[in-house]
Structure 1
Amino acid sequence: MDYQVLLYYCYASIEDPAQFRDEHHQLCLALDLRGRIIVAAEGLNGTVSGTAAHCVAYMAAVKADPRFGALEFKVDAAAGHTFQKLHVRVKPEIVHSSLAHLKPQEKTGQHLSPQEFRALKDRGDVVVVDVRSDYEYNLGRFRNAVTLDMENFRDFPARVEQLKQFKDKKILTYCTGGVKCEKASAYLLEQGFENVYQLHGGIIKYGIEAGGEDFDGKCYVFDNRVAVDVNRVNPRVISRCCVCREPSARLIDCANPQCNAYMAQCESCGDVMQGACSEACAAHPAKRPYDGTGAYPKASNHYQPAQGLASYKG
Structure 2
Amino acid sequence: MAKYQTLLYYCYSPIEDAEQFAAEHLEFCKSLGLVGRIIVANEGLNGTVSGTPEACKAYMKAVHADARFNKTDFKIDEVNEPSFIKMHCRYKPEIVHSGLRNPAVIDPNKETGKHLEPKDFMEMKDQEDVVILDVRSNYEHAVGRFKNAVTLDIENFREFPEKIKELEQFKDKKILTYCTGGIKCEKASALLLKEGFKDVYQLHGGIIKYGKEVKGKDFEGQCYVFDNRVTVDVNKINPKIVSTCRNCGKVTPKMINCANPECNEHFTQCDACGWEMDGCCSTACMEHPRKRPYDGTGYYVKLPQPVNEEKISKRKHKYFPPKGKSTLLDSE
TM-score, normalization by structure 2 = 0.89
> Paired residue for 2:51?
50
> Paired residue for 2:324?
none
Cα offset for 1:91? 1.1
> Paired residue for 2:258?
254
Count of residue pairs brought into register by the alignment: 306
Where 1:313 maps in the other structure, the secondary structure is: coil
* Structure 1 Cα separation of the partners of residues 198 and 303 of structure 2: 49
Cα offset for 1:40? 1.1
> Paired residue for 1:150?
154
> Paired residue for 2:175?
171
Aligned CA distance change for structure 1 residues 256 and 299 (closer, same or farther; 3 Å) = closer
* Structure 2 Cα separation of the partners of residues 291 and 60 of structure 1: 38
Deviations, residues 144-163 of structure 1 (Å, cap 9, x unaligned): 10011001101011000111
> Paired residue for 1:306?
none
Cα offset for 1:268? 1.2
- Structure 1 letter corresponding to 2:177: T
Deviations, residues 86-131 of structure 1 (Å, cap 9, x unaligned): 1111111111112412110111000000000000011100000000
* Structure 1 Cα separation of the partners of residues 319 and 163 of structure 2: 39
Tell which deviates more after alignment, 285-294 or 150-159: 285-294
Where 1:208 maps in the other structure, the secondary structure is: helix
- Structure 2 letter corresponding to 1:313: Y
* Structure 2 Cα separation of the partners of residues 166 and 192 of structure 1: 11
Cα offset for 1:193? 0.5
> Paired residue for 2:143?
139
- Structure 2 letter corresponding to 1:98: G
Q: Could you list the runs of 5+ residues in structure 2 that have no partner in the other structure?
A: 305-314, 321-332
* Structure 2 Cα separation of the partners of residues 91 and 261 of structure 1: 23
* Structure 2 Cα separation of the partners of residues 245 and 184 of structure 1: 32
**Aligned 1:217-232 pairs, distance under 5 A:** 217-232=221-236
> Paired residue for 1:210?
214
* Structure 2 Cα separation of the partners of residues 158 and 295 of structure 1: 31
**Aligned 1:292-311 pairs, distance under 5 A:** 292-298=296-302
- Structure 1 letter corresponding to 2:32: L
Cα offset for 1:313? 3.1
Where 2:97 maps in the other structure, the secondary structure is: coil
Where 1:171 maps in the other structure, the secondary structure is: strand
> Paired residue for 1:25?
26
Cα offset for 1:59? 0.2
Cα offset for 1:283? 2.2
* Structure 1 Cα separation of the partners of residues 13 and 275 of structure 2: 48
Q: CA RMSD in A?
A: 1.7
Cα offset for 1:23? 2.6
TM-score, normalization by structure 1 = 0.94
Cα offset for 1:19? 2.8
> Paired residue for 2:131?
127
* Structure 2 Cα separation of the partners of residues 57 and 277 of structure 1: 42
**Aligned 1:161-200 pairs, distance under 5 A:** 161-200=165-204
Cα offset for 1:56? 0.5
Q: 1:236 aligns with which of 237, 240, 243?
A: 240
Cα offset for 1:294? 2.0
Deviations, residues 277-296 of structure 1 (Å, cap 9, x unaligned): 11211222222222222222
- Structure 2 letter corresponding to 1:10: C
Cα offset for 1:299? 6.7
> Paired residue for 1:77?
78
> Paired residue for 1:89?
90
Tell which deviates more after alignment, 284-293 or 41-50: 284-293
Where 1:252 maps in the other structure, the secondary structure is: strand
Aligned CA distance change for structure 1 residues 39 and 170 (closer, same or farther; 3 Å) = same
Aligned CA distance change for structure 1 residues 286 and 25 (closer, same or farther; 3 Å) = closer
Cα offset for 1:251? 1.0
> Paired residue for 1:313?
319
Cα offset for 1:228? 0.7
Tell which deviates more after alignment, 11-20 or 200-209: 11-20
> Paired residue for 1:116?
120
> Paired residue for 1:275?
279
